[in-house]
């Protein structure tokens, strides 16, 4: 799996040279620029699926959105840590 973009095209190139851009994307990730700044990366569906499958499934949440029993358990663990110190 190659993650480093292999070619760079402008968004105007995407409109005018669609076939070239797509052909390059089959070979590896393609950077699309707009106003001289990298804005997008084009990859194949297969590479996207591979990246999603390897992604970290953990999610960030807010403690105020936790179920009450989990929040209580979490609070008790923090209290015990404070009382006993780091081990």
In the predicted model, what is the mean pLDDT of residues 39-63?
91
- Given a contact cutoff of 8 angstroms between Cβ atoms, the answer to whether 32 and 9 are in contact is yes
For the purposes of burial, counting CB atoms within 10 Å of the CB of 87, is it exposed (0-12), middle (13-18) or buried (19 or more)? exposed
Average pLDDT over residues 21-42: 95
Q: Regarding predicted confidence, which is higher, 5 or 77? A: 77
Task: Tell me, yes or no, if the pTM score tops 0.85.
Answer: no
Per-residue pLDDT at 2 = 58
CA distance 30 to 22: 9
pLDDT given at position 86: 61
Give dist(CA 76, CA 84) in Å, integer.
Answer: 12
Cβ within 8 Å of residue 14, ≥6 positions away: 21, 32
Q: Which domains does the chain have, with CATH numbers?
A: 7-84 (3.40.1620.10)
**For 13-22, what is the mean pLDDT?**
96
**Ramachandran region of residue 61, left (φ > 0), alpha (ψ -120 to 50) or beta?**
beta
Instruction: Please say if the pLDDT value at position 9 is more than 90.
Output: yes
């Amino acid at each position: 799996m190659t993650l480093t973009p292999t070619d760079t095209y402008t968004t105007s190139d995407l409109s005018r040279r669609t076939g070239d851009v797509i052909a390059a994307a089959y070979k590896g990730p393609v950077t699309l620029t707009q106003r001289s700044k990298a804005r997008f990366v084009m990859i194949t569906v297969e590479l996207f699926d591979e990246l999603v499958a390897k992604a970290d499934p953990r999610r960030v949440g807010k403690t105020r959105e936790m179920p009450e029993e989990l929040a209580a358990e979490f609070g008790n663990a923090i209290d015990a840590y404070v009382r006993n110190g780091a081990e």
